[in-house]
Amino acid sequence: NFMLTQPHSVSESPGKTVTISCTRSSGSIASNYVQWYQQRPGSSPTTVIYEDNQRPSGVPDRFSGSIDSSSNSASLTISGLKTEDEADYYCQSYDSSSVVFGGGTKLTVL
Amino acid sequence: EVQLVESGGGLVQPGRSLRLSCAASGFTFDDYAMHWVRQAPGKGLEWVSGISWNSGSIGYADSVKGRFTISRDNAKNSLYLQMNSLRAEDTALYYCAKDVRDYYGSGSSPFFDYWGQGTLVTVSS
């Protein structure tokens, strides 16, 4: 199995843009779709990006996803940061035998 | 409205067993694969197990393989997780999660569009 590595934490000011990375340890990042989940304190996760760069209905277009084969990583970018975006974010992918989550990134909007 | 309601968690001694249930409503249960995902206190998400719509394909994380068994009863719109030989490191909030696809297995690329609120399992003497 591969691992997905995320920064432990990131912080940025309201109105700014932040990017959270998710690096795949082995195998190509492009070989399986990457999803991103948001988890606010005390709540269950919700999907903010699926299939690398698709937004579920109801998720604002301030959220975007991409993959970069050169760095073998996926990225979640949140623009126009709002205090309500403060949460933990997890990337997720899959290989032939199991679902893999990244370790999570705590986003602080201060 | 999709609802996933987990139950069956609690305090259990190491080595004992526990069975979790997830009652699903608001969607056609037997059209979708289902999963269990857990989160230890203050930690990240860990996938535990998945099952395809017809129970034909099942998978487990290495950490629970041989100890946990996932199953479903489509007639009862319910998902289960039988947990045996529990360890302290199994202590976590266990979420039931709905897949967007019917099939779980090789080539399926699963992900989750609905999650329950979780049921807490504490393994301690």
For the stretch A11-51, pLDDT in tens is: 999 999 999 999 999 999 999 999 999 999 999 999 999 99
pLDDT of residue B97: 98
Q: Which of B5, B109, B114, B117 has the most A C-beta neighbours within 10 Å, making it the best mutation to test the interface with A?
A: B109
Q: Say if the Cβ atoms of B112 and A97 lie within 8 Å.
A: no
The CA angle A29-A54-A61, to the nearest 5 degrees, is: 125
Task: Enumerate residue ranges in chain B where pLDDT < 50.
Answer: none
pLDDT: which is higher, A109 or A95: A109
Q: Is the pLDDT of residue A93 over 90?
A: yes
Q: What is the reported pLDDT for A1? A: 83
Edge-to-edge strand ranges of the sheet holding B18-25: B3-7, B18-25, B78-83, B68-73
Write down the pLDDT at residue B105.
80
Nearest CA in chain B to A47: B113
- pLDDT for the residue B106: 77
Among candidates A4, A31, A20, A21, which has minimal Cα distance to A96? A31
3-class DSSP state of B95: strand
Closest CA to B26 of B61, B59, B2: B2
Q: Do B109 and A37 touch (CB under 8 A)?
A: no
